[in-house]
Chain A
Amino acid sequence: MAEYREGSTSRATFPLPDVEWPATAPYWAGAAANELRIPFCDGCGASNWFPEATCGACGGRAFTWRVMSGRGTLFSWVVVHRPFLPQYADAIPFVPALVSLDDAPEVRVPTRMVETEPGDLRFDMAVTVAFRPLRFRGVDGEVTAPFFVPSDPGW
């Protein structure tokens, strides 16, 4: 069963990720190095996504973060026309999406499709990670984040 851990939304960097939160710190450290890293269980080899403290498949508690190829397929997406957080306002309209990774298809990466038009998106189309700075109006700082783009620019 997925765990529920409550934090605060009042930290100054919200909605940027807290890159120091231990459970996801290796993910954001990977992004800073332009690598998409996902944890796998040392005991049974299953992916552990989201990075829970125990493996959902075998109960193991030791994991190794592996570098993924960055290639995947577009699982689903939406086009957001209204900012649900004031910090999103500058990005409207934008395209939050879930990408299934070629190296571990059961892993869905929450991301945003960029450098493409929503009308050009197709289910299960080939997509590739693109590391870009994530910024929000009124929030200091930026974080390098895994956005995705269509793999074939001529799609």
Chain B
Amino acid sequence: MATPKGEWGYASALEDTSGEVAIVGVGDADHSSASGRGQKEVAAQAIERALEDAGLRARDIDGIMHVPMAGMEFTDDDFREYFGVTHDLWVSKEGGGMVWAATAPHTAAMAIREGKAKYILNTFAVAWATQRNSMVGGPGESHAKELFKQNLEVPMGWFPQPVYFATIARRHMHEFGTRPEHLGRIAVACRAHANLHPGAVMNHKALTLDEYLAKPMLVDPFRKEDCCLISDGGGAYIMTSTERARDLRQPVIEVAGVGLGNSHTGPHWSQQAAFTSTPHVFSAAGAFGMAGISTADVDVFTCYDPFTIVTAMTIEDLGFCPKGEIGAFLESTPLTHDGGGLPIQTHGGMLSHAYVLGISHVVEVVHQLRGEAHAQVPDAEIGIYAGYTGPQASVLVLRKHRG
């Protein structure tokens, strides 16, 4: 497809499903550094907890969503084997974490509307901490295999993700005056929330801004603290119609809006025309429009945060502050759960909770809107998860159902 001159991406048109479905059960697996566990075992633990949370049995689930990961994803066959059921399941491969942790509820809403399933499970898990000493299954593997990267970027050392995003961060600093202490404020807020969350990998390790600034450079201008963890862990959530949700045990958390943006340069960050932006430039209007809200209505902000700079750009690109003004925004806006500003990554995010690629962010937003989170934002009614892969960015708006 031809790229319109001057346009570096576009919004996907999504049918309005506002309020049609709700998330009725959520589950986190145990999150850790290398655990020796396999990906499927981790996923099964999260699913078991989501079922328990929803008050549903395995035989109630008639749809499952995942994202293909070289056979390591938790499939419908795995579901039958682990949970001792034999029935057919509607299957979607447009689920899992990353960008799809936000769009799966829209895909599920369409399936439920069309009568394909009633109770749909979305799940994602990784065991990258256990696997990290090999190139098999680690976060860099798919990038090293992509042939343009392999033959143009990897040989020169422009690889892997910490290098991509440190390069973006340095350019962002040049264009907009963003400083290391701005990125540090994001890392410190994530750590403060992880310190309150017993399931967070960094639960027992504090981090102040001074400590952040004193840390050595990993990929200058990034310190290790700008980069996400490498974890074993995962999560799961269960969706059904808002109508059926009223009969279940948990407060109804409805899917108010979903948006999806795309970049024409796909996974090639080096060539993205808008180098210091994300496709959230194209995802925000659809999601907030479908939900009928503005950024001022958002009580809890979570986003896919592989690096501090991605959180910074996401805040800008979704319109929480004008592009390029993230530094001033972070200096004037408290980021913690009790600060009255914009609470971000209230479980610690991928920087300090666990690198499970966004699925646990959705779990956290649901806990927040039910009022049962560890770092609870007072009276939280609307929360978002902003997903990201580079080629795409997505927004999920969740809302506490009234009445």
Q: Do A and B come from one complex?
A: yes
Interface contact B145-A118, CB-CB below 8 Å: no
Segment touching A, from B103-111, B163-171, B241-249, B282-290: B163-171
- Of chain B, the residue at the smallest CB distance from A93 is B220
Which B residues are in CB contact (< 8 Å) with A49? 271
What's the dominant secondary structure at chain A's contact region? Answer: loop
A78 to B173, CA, bound (A): 12
A80 to B157, CA, bound (A): 9
CB-contacts of A41-86 with B (<8 A): 49-51, 56-59, 75-82, 84-85
The digit string for A83-104, where 1 denotes a CB below 8 A from any CB of B, is 0110010010010111000000
Q: Given the interface contacts A14-B150, A110-B156, does A3 sit within 8 Å of B2 by beta carbon?
A: no
Interface contact B275-A96, CB-CB below 8 Å: no
- Of chain B, the residue at the smallest CB distance from A124 is B174
User: Could you tell me the distance in whole angstroms from the C-beta of A78 to the nearest C-beta in chain B?
Assistant: 4
B203 within 8 A of A: no
Q: How many A-B residue pairs have CB under 8 A?
A: 151
Interface contact A94-B157, CB-CB below 8 Å: yes
Interface contact A76-B146, CB-CB below 8 Å: no
A28 to B174, CA, bound (A): 32
Interface contact B141-A77, CB-CB below 8 Å: no
The digit string for B132-150, where 1 denotes a CB below 8 A from any CB of A, is 0001000011101111101
A46 to B216, CA, bound (A): 43
Interface contact A50-B168, CB-CB below 8 Å: no
A24 to B149, CA, bound (A): 11
- Of chain A, the residue at the smallest CB distance from B2 is A59
User: Could you tell me the distance in whole angstroms from the C-beta of A66 to the nearest C-beta in chain B?
Assistant: 17
- Of the candidates A3, A118, A143, the one whose C-beta lies within 8 Å of that of B266 is A3
The digit string for A104-131, where 1 denotes a CB below 8 A from any CB of B, is 0010101110000010000100000000
Which A residues are in CB contact (< 8 Å) with B266? 1-4
Which interface residue of A1, A98, A110, A112 has the most chain B CB atoms within 10 A? A110
- Of chain A, the residue at the smallest CB distance from B266 is A2
User: Could you tell me the distance in whole angstroms from the C-beta of B131 to the nearest C-beta in chain A?
Assistant: 14
B296 within 8 A of A: no
Interface contact B219-A82, CB-CB below 8 Å: yes
- Of chain A, the residue at the smallest CB distance from B217 is A81
User: Could you tell me the distance in whole angstroms from the C-beta of B378 to the nearest C-beta in chain A?
Assistant: 40
User: Could you tell me the distance in whole angstroms from the C-beta of B138 to the nearest C-beta in chain A?
Assistant: 10
Interface contact B264-A1, CB-CB below 8 Å: yes
B3 within 8 A of A: yes
Which B residues are in CB contact (< 8 Å) with A57? 2-3, 5
Interface contact A2-B391, CB-CB below 8 Å: yes
Which A residues are in CB contact (< 8 Å) with B214? none
A106 to B275, CA, bound (A): 11
Interface contact B151-A81, CB-CB below 8 Å: no
CB-contacts of A121-155 with B (<8 A): 123, 134, 143, 145, 147
Which B residues are in CB contact (< 8 Å) with A134? 155-156
Interface contact B167-A56, CB-CB below 8 Å: no
Q: Given the interface contacts A1-B266, A50-B268, does A27 sit within 8 Å of B152 by beta carbon?
A: yes
Interface contact A15-B154, CB-CB below 8 Å: yes
- Of the candidates A18, A77, A110, the one whose C-beta lies within 8 Å of that of B170 is A77
Interface contact A6-B270, CB-CB below 8 Å: no
User: Could you tell me the distance in whole angstroms from the C-beta of A69 to the nearest C-beta in chain B?
Assistant: 20
Interface contact B157-A112, CB-CB below 8 Å: yes
Which B residues are in CB contact (< 8 Å) with A23? 147-148, 151
Interface contact B150-A18, CB-CB below 8 Å: yes
Interface contact A7-B147, CB-CB below 8 Å: yes
A47 to B122, CA, bound (A): 41
B218 within 8 A of A: yes
User: Could you tell me the distance in whole angstroms from the C-beta of A18 to the nearest C-beta in chain B?
Assistant: 6
- Of chain A, the residue at the smallest CB distance from B161 is A84
Task: List 26 A–B pairs whose Cβ atoms lie within 8 Å, in order of A's numbering.
Answer: A2-B148, A2-B267, A6-B145, A6-B146, A7-B145, A14-B154, A15-B144, A15-B154, A17-B152, A18-B150, A23-B148, A23-B151, A24-B148, A76-B275, A79-B217, A80-B163, A80-B219, A81-B218, A81-B219, A84-B163, A88-B157, A94-B157, A98-B270, A111-B156, A143-B155, A147-B156
When A and B form their complex, which 10 residue pairs have the shortest distance between CB atoms, in order from nearest?
A2-B266, A79-B220, A76-B171, A96-B158, A110-B158, A78-B166, A17-B151, A110-B153, A5-B147, A96-B157
Given contacts A1-B262, A4-B146, 15 further A-B contacts (CB under 8 A): A4-B266, A8-B145, A17-B150, A17-B154, A24-B152, A27-B152, A51-B148, A56-B2, A75-B171, A78-B170, A81-B220, A82-B219, A96-B167, A110-B158, A111-B156
Interface residues of B (CB under 8 A from A): 1-3, 5, 135, 140-142, 144-148, 150-160, 162-163, 166-168, 170-171, 174, 216-222, 262, 264-268, 270-271, 273, 275, 391
